[in-house]
Amino acid sequence: MTSSNTLLTIGMITNEALPVLVNELTFTRRVNRQYDKQFGITGAKIGDTLNIRKPVRYIGRRTPTLNVQGSTESSVALTLSTQYGVDMSFTSADLKLSIDEFSSRFIKPAVSQMANMIDFDGLQQYKYIYNTVGTPGVVPATADVVLAAGVKLDNEAAPMGDRSIALNPAAQAGLVSTFTTLFNPSKEISDQYLKGSMGTALGFEFYMDQNIAVHTIGTYAATLSGVTVTNAVTSGSSVLTGGWTAGDYLNIGDVVTFGTTTSKGVFAINPQNYQSTGQLRQFVVTSLCTADVSGNMTIQVSPAITFNTTGTPNPFATVTSSSNTIEAGAVIGVFGTSAKVTPQNLAFCPDAFTFATVMLPDMPGVDNSRATDEQLGMSIRLISAYDVVNDRRISRLDLLGGWATLRPELACRIAG
């Protein structure tokens, strides 16, 4: 605690703000966070890009004979797209408060708003996730939907033991009474009364986040039984389809399937054993797609369509079918009904998403202070200047960051 004759310094304020920010985060605190101090040297700005490495995948062998594989690293480009900030002013009297009082009155409200914006943007990453369960427009209220999300993650070889589910308030209300007897006793029950925490059940840690994204499914008038693949697809991310009504469209984030379990089905593949999971592969639409006057629509999808076509397991294969193609005539399935509005609760492992911040440079002619924690993967900067006319210190708190979906297979949307 400072004495009555000591003014708070800008460094004291910044160092207090960083841990408060981390504690206020809900979704972001549970995902991969990357920090690149290189930008502290070169100077970071909106639009700069970080390349986040993804794990190498190997096939392995079952014989004594050496079978050397290349170590191919891939990466995801993360653009520093947002400079989050809160602007404040303090009087000389304010700066004579103890740091505890100052934190409660000024720092916490400021960084709470910043945390809210960061979490909101992070939850918009749902639109890059293809695995989806639940029923759009129906609030999840049973264990079945949670178990179904777990199956999706299991089939994608997602790690056990570090899985979370972020729920909007309605989904939390629907599930909490159902799961009351399932949550672990003692500490887990008490944690229900902490910010955003419900407890652990069915292999997931449950949290409430009011920033859960809401998705609107595209609008289409066609009878989907008449909408089919026009040309066979062996690879890539584009699928030409026909049978739509002119003007029908699919939104970014819509989920589609090709074929059925009994006819021309395209199935998900387990990335560890390269076998079909028995479930139709769900694809997420990556760009707005609109049917032309002839009813044709080219759908851009993720994951990219990759079959095992050489007889040797492909560690990057995403789909399998009896013909090693998405066959012409395969029917299209759209998850949900036309124009349905539905919250996108998320089940995820930390490496599904990543949030990166960088060290912002000092600016000349003003007081600068930065707080960085490489272990937490967070960095913030406070700049302050004195307003001699009004006897106040004008300050701006800034965090330059960006979001990316690192491994979409490690997450599953739960429609609500």
The predicted-structure confidence for 145-201, as pLDDT tens digits, reads as follows: 999 999 999 999 999 889 999 999 999 888 877 776 665 554 555 554 444 456 777
Q: Rounded to an integer, what is the distance from CA 375 to the centroid of its chain?
A: 20
pLDDT digits (tens, 9 = 90+) for 309-345: 766 677 789 999 999 999 999 999 999 999 999 999 9
Average pLDDT, the chain: 86
Q: Residue 40 domain-assigned?
A: yes
Per-residue pLDDT at 1: 41
Task: Please check whether residue 190 is in contact with residue 207, taking contact to mean a CB–CB distance below 8 angstroms.
Answer: no
Q: Residue 411 domain-assigned?
A: no
Domain count, the chain: 3
Domain match, 243 and 320 both: yes
pLDDT digits (tens, 9 = 90+) for 241-292: 999 999 999 999 999 999 999 999 999 998 888 889 999 999 999 999 999 9
> What is the spatial distance between Cα 37 and Cα 48, in angstroms, rounded to a whole number?
13
Q: Residue 410 domain-assigned?
A: no
Domain match, 245 and 384 both: no
Domain match, 267 and 316 both: yes
Domain match, 144 and 119 both: no
Give the pLDDT mean for 364-374: 83
Domain match, 117 and 28 both: yes
Task: Select, from the ranges 163-172, 365-374, 393-402, the one with the highest average predicted confidence (pLDDT).
Answer: 163-172
Range with the poorest average pLDDT among 113-117, 230-234, 326-330: 113-117
pLDDT at 127 over 90: yes
For residue 276, list its beta bridge partners.
269
pLDDT at 293 over 50: yes
Q: Is 87 or 237 the better-scoring residue by pLDDT?
A: 237
Q: Residue 16 domain-assigned?
A: yes
Q: Residue 390 domain-assigned?
A: yes
Helix (H, G, I), strand (E, B) or coil at 90: strand
Task: Please check whether residue 275 is in contact with residue 318, taking contact to mean a CB–CB distance below 8 angstroms.
Answer: no
Nearest-5° Cα angle at 348, 414 to 83: 100
Instruction: Note the helical H segments in 124-180.
Output: 143-155, 169-179
Give the pLDDT mean for 133-156: 95
Task: Please check whether residue 384 is in contact with residue 393, taking contact to mean a CB–CB distance below 8 angstroms.
Answer: yes
For residue 354, list its beta bridge partners.
32, 404
Confidence of residue 400 (pLDDT cuts 50, 70, 90): very high
Helix (H, G, I), strand (E, B) or coil at 225: helix
Q: Which of 318, 351, 384 finishes a domain?
A: 351
Q: What is the CATH number of the domain that holds 197?
A: 3.30.2320
Confidence of residue 3 (pLDDT cuts 50, 70, 90): very low
> What is the spatial distance between Cα 400 and Cα 150, in angstroms, rounded to a whole number?
34
Give the pLDDT mean for 376-381: 84
Domain match, 309 and 240 both: yes
> What is the spatial distance between Cα 387 and Cα 394, in angstroms, rounded to a whole number?
7
CA dihedral 316, 319, 322, 328 (to 10 degrees): -120
Domain match, 239 and 316 both: yes
Task: Please check whether residue 111 is in contact with residue 24, taking contact to mean a CB–CB distance below 8 angstroms.
Answer: yes
Nearest-5° Cα angle at 337, 265 to 239: 40
Domain match, 136 and 121 both: no
Per-residue pLDDT at 211: 94
Confidence of residue 46 (pLDDT cuts 50, 70, 90): confident
Domain match, 317 and 305 both: yes
Residue indicated by tokens 């707005």: 288
The region, left, alpha or beta by phi > 0 then psi within -120 to 50, assigned to residue 161 is: left
Range with the poorest average pLDDT among 22-31, 71-80, 138-147: 71-80
What Rg, from alpha-carbon coordinates, does the chain have?
Answer: 25
pLDDT at 209 over 80: yes
Domain match, 320 and 371 both: no
Q: Is the peptide bond before 303 cis (omega within 30 degrees of 0)?
A: yes
Domain match, 142 and 179 both: yes
Helix axes 143-155, 169-179, angle to 10 degrees: 100
Range with the poorest average pLDDT among 13-27, 69-83, 177-191: 177-191
Q: Residue 48 domain-assigned?
A: yes
The parent domain of residue 385 ranges over 10-58+74-125+356-398
Per-residue pLDDT at 53: 76
Q: Residue 89 domain-assigned?
A: yes
Domain match, 15 and 121 both: yes
Give the pLDDT mean for 349-373: 87
The percentage of residues in the chain with a pLDDT greater than 70, rounded to a whole number, is: 87
Confidence of residue 301 (pLDDT cuts 50, 70, 90): very high
Q: Residue 143 domain-assigned?
A: yes
Per-residue pLDDT at 358: 86
Buried b (16+ CB within 10 A) or exposed e, 137-154: eebbbeeebbebbbebbe
